A and B are shown apart, each in its own frame.
Chain A
Amino acid sequence: MLLGIDVGGTHTDAVLVGDEGVLKSFKTRTDRGNLLGSVTTALAEVTSGFDVKKITNINLSTTLSTNAIVEQKLEKTGLFISSGPGINPENFIMGDCAFVVPGSIDHRGTETLKIDMKMVQNGLSECKANGVRVYAAVSKFSTRNKDHEEQMASAAAGQSDFITQGYRLSSQLSFPRRVATAYYNSAVWRIYNSFTDAVMKAVSQSGISAPVNILKADGGTMPVQVSRDIPVESILSGPAASIMGIIALCDIDHDSVILDIGGTTTDIAVFASGAPLIEREGIKLGGSPTLVRSLQNRSIGIGGDSVLAVTEGNVTAGPERKGPCMADGGDVPALIDALNFLGTSDFGDTARSNDGIRQLAASAKMKPELLAQQALEYAVATIRRAIDSMLEEINSKPVYTIHEMLEGKKIVPEKIYIIGGPARAVAKAMTGMSEITVPEYFEVANAIGAALARTTFETELFSDTGRGVMTMPNLGIEERVDRRYSIEDAKHDALEHTRRFMEKTGYDTSAGPELVEVSAFRILNDYSSSGCDIRVKCQVKPGLIKNLHAKAKGGAK
């Protein structure tokens, strides 16, 4: 049996999945002041009546780190950055304990200016005096040469409980993102680890001995022990869990669009030939772009609780939400109330919905039927526009080779999958645009996705045979190579090192890493060859431990 728990901002969902499909599901409101309580309640409820010894895997998605960052409940973090030429590094400072230190590494990883360790020491003394216990060290191009980050980290070792080094987070370039990601990682490290301690205790007390994995924003998971050093990777995993849930429930093999219609927002995701698209750079949080890999997902302000308004005869819905809809005890009519009035949904207290719609219609001097119908049409049109603009953006994404430019494939969705409260009602209104599917169990798709998601991993090998170096930054690997080091060697090393690292750290290696991008450039200094620049990206892509396709058939078509 597989257990999945998704502690979201509003609801906590849990499912237990067996060979026969979903065995049990549980839904409750999240206690934002006590997330641990939400986890333990869900754990106890969803497993009651089952033999917990048969649970082989637990996946957990929580908003703990996300909340800490969004609500700025962050631990004071000593941030040390060395940057070299470029944009003024003062722009990237985060928190009130940051130090910019002279020192420079160039795009090939060559040190062009030694790091000023005296300034590092001064900064560290100041941090010590202020009781700072967690640190982040980031230098520009540290993914090509980690020396400066290593020097800063070893200087801080004596006075810290935890240090994040930028190069361990991602192989990807972007100094500002690296700074933000490292800073957040250290700033949530303690709260995340004490929460995880408590969760692990609760799991073992309930008699479960299965491995525990933590959901990430890319629709995959990481082993809990790995997550303890990279807690930032646990942010914004909720939407990805929902997307993975739909993959588990529906056999998607075409270009398609996924809509998750919630209370306040609708999340839109796009699939290319059945596979979810991954954000090229990383997800944004608290206004800062990060290096945290995520599935592409766009959120718009249309949901079941989107407030209805009539301005000069035009009916609109959202983006505001003024509490729950009237059917759920709210004071002002919302989209769900319009759907209830039209009879396409049957949620909560429909009599209150009908009253609310009639009152609003009377004050706007409209027929209530027309008002409700227009509200639905407005919502559908808004969603439709957002889908179009997201597709336009994806299809006009820049590419860097002539081959891709001329042979580039465009995404043209053939199907739309809809989940969430108003799914069936909206699906009816959208018919005629594409084939629409509302899967069964859509209410707990997020928890199903959480339960069935597999581990994911991504790394890049970078080799500059001119400098005689091969690195795989987030694996911490740096090796000497000679001029004969070839693209084949690099491919082999990338896969082999990744596999070994995953085995060592408790990842599920059944899917195995695959190569994503391979490039090699001969580098000439003036007119003479100075080696080869080889880059190999590999990943274990998002996927499922198993799917439920045979068990759950598409609903309203």
Chain B
Amino acid sequence: MIKAEKSLGLVFFPAFDWAISPTHPEREERLLYTQDQLREEGIFDIEGITEFKPDIATEEDVMRLHFCFPDVASVTTGSHLISAGGALRAARAVMDGEVKSAFALVRPPGHHAMKCVHGNRGFCNINNEAVMIEYIREKYGKRKIAIVDTDCHHGDGTQDIYWHDPDVLFISLHQDGRTLYPGSGHLRELGGPNARGKTINIPLPPNTSEEGFIYTIDSMVLPILEHFKPEVIINSAGQDNHYTDPITNMNFTAHGYALLNEKLNPHIAVLEGGYSVQGALPYVNLGIVLAMAGIDYSHVKEPDYDINYNPQDDDITAYIKKLREPVLANYFSPAPDTDRPATGQYYTRHKNIYYDTDGIQESQREHVMMCNDCRGVIMIESSSSVNPPGAGIEIPVFGCKRCRDEGYRLLKEARASNNFVTVQFTDRVNRVYERYGA
């Protein structure tokens, strides 16, 4: 009998009865062959590997971090709440000491869901990892968290949610935004004025292979993590860097994913994208499970590896090596934000966001208090092609007295004005999650 060297929790929720649409890549059988492979390997019989049933995320779990317009129920279905609940169960298993680490193999994914939610973008409605992180912070008092997003697409949703949070380090490795959805994730995106250098983007060229990914982990991600010293490390484990993935152009492998995971050694991994349902997912998921459990994964190899996998070109290697210096500089010596207003004043950014899946256009004004004592109270004014103007006000987790008072003042002002049809109010200090309006 095989024994896991490190105990591992698995939350496996394939949602066999849910799809975005019949021919959409995010469809029912996405994890069918992964399930077959894991069962055929006897994964669930391994001593030290425990399967957990997902929790169902509550409205409060979602409101802890998102502003949903017009409300949570309108932008989520059972599938989203179970998928996020799967991440919550994985976190609970680790935080309660049931297992050393956990992997939530859940769908639908979440990392393109931003702070404001009007619908589905990039196959995501609510951000599974962020729901989980804010749960961990509230229930277990953790503060410093690192997310390493290894999905092929830039984790723009997670970046948006933590843009102003200096206690959450977000590192995204992805295919360069100039060549792939969502188009963002460039080197110059490195966090808001209160959190410079806590968003780190590593845009990799198309056809990056095992060598390039492992180099990136070894020489960029690990040194940054070592310095940041997070209490919890989370892997947004997208699997679409695989050389067989139909919607991306990378050249990564199951063995590479396993090795990456072994090096990263996350407390919790949450499945994101990955749409090579037959050629990649069964092997990549198996590799990650074995690596997380400390079991030999050297026999995990795609059947067509010797035919279809090509080692990396020299010019790609050279390109990736050149990324090292600016990436490390972004973290260790980020250029100050020249637009930063004085402390006690608001910093405002305008955003236009397109929801590709649902075809929604959103327009936003986001105001953040420049604060030296906490990450700053936030107010977002948002309207979209499906919702009239609404506002979200958030007193941040570990918020200071000034920002708390300011939050309540903003709430009073927003409710008194005729500018907003709905107002969502979040006071993370006193755990108040309220929604006003139609």
Contact = CB atoms under 8 A, between A and B. Distances in A.
B384 interface: no
A521 to B, nearest CB: 4
Given A84-B303, A402-B79, A396 B40 contact: no
Given A288-B1, A401-B15, A85 B78 contact: no
B12 interface: yes
A533 B12 CA distance: 20
Determine the main DSSP class of B at the interface with A.
loop
A519 B277 CA distance: 17
Nearest to B300: A85
Interface residues of A, number: 43
Nearest to A405: B82
Contact of A174 (B17, B32, B39): B39
Nearest to A105: B303
A104 interface: yes
A107 B283 CA distance: 11
Nearest to B298: A88
A399 B52 CA distance: 10
Contacts of B18: 402
A107 B33 contact: yes
A175 B42 contact: yes
Given A108-B278, A287-B1, A523 B42 contact: no
Interface in B1-21: 1-2, 11-18
B421 interface: no
A522 B42 contact: no
Interface in B66-117: 78-79, 82
A8 interface: no
B29 interface: yes
Given A174-B45, A400-B35, A527-B246, A405 B40 contact: no
Contact of A403 (B17, B27, B33, B35): B17
A519 B17 CA distance: 10
Interface in A381-407: 396-403, 405-406
A176 B12 contact: no
B1 A523 contact: no
Contacts of A402: 15, 17-18, 78-79, 82
Nearest to B286: A86
A524 B278 CA distance: 9
B210 interface: no
A493 to B, nearest CB: 21
B337 interface: no
A112 interface: yes
B37 A107 contact: yes
Interface in A127-142: 140-141
Nearest to A176: B42
Most B-side CB within 10 Å, residue of A402, A403, A522: A402
Given A175-B41, A523-B29, A400 B12 contact: yes
A87 interface: yes
Nearest to B42: A176
Contacts of B27: 524
B82 A173 contact: no
A262 interface: no
A173 B299 CA distance: 19
Contacts of A175: 40-42
B211 interface: no
Interface in B381-410: none
Given A86-B37, A107-B33, A405 B246 contact: no
A396 B17 CA distance: 20
Given A177-B45, A405-B54, A141 B296 contact: no
Contacts of A154: none
Interface string A402-419: 110110000000000000
A401 B17 contact: yes
B53 A397 contact: yes
Given A85-B300, A88-B299, A402-B78, A289 B42 contact: yes
Interface string B291-305: 000011011111110
B76 to A, nearest CB: 12
A317 B82 CA distance: 43
A100 to B, nearest CB: 11
Given A86-B37, A86-B286, A87-B295, A519 B16 contact: yes
A86 B300 contact: yes
B22 interface: yes
A526 B15 CA distance: 20
Contacts of B286: 86
A251 interface: no
Would you list the 5 A-B pairs with minimal beta carbon distance, nearest first?
A: A112-B303, A521-B29, A176-B42, A173-B39, A401-B17
B323 interface: no
Most B-side CB within 10 Å, residue of A104, A113, A522: A522
Contacts of A399: 53
Contacts of A403: 17
A91 B78 contact: no
B246 A526 contact: yes
Contact of A398 (B51, B78, B299): B51
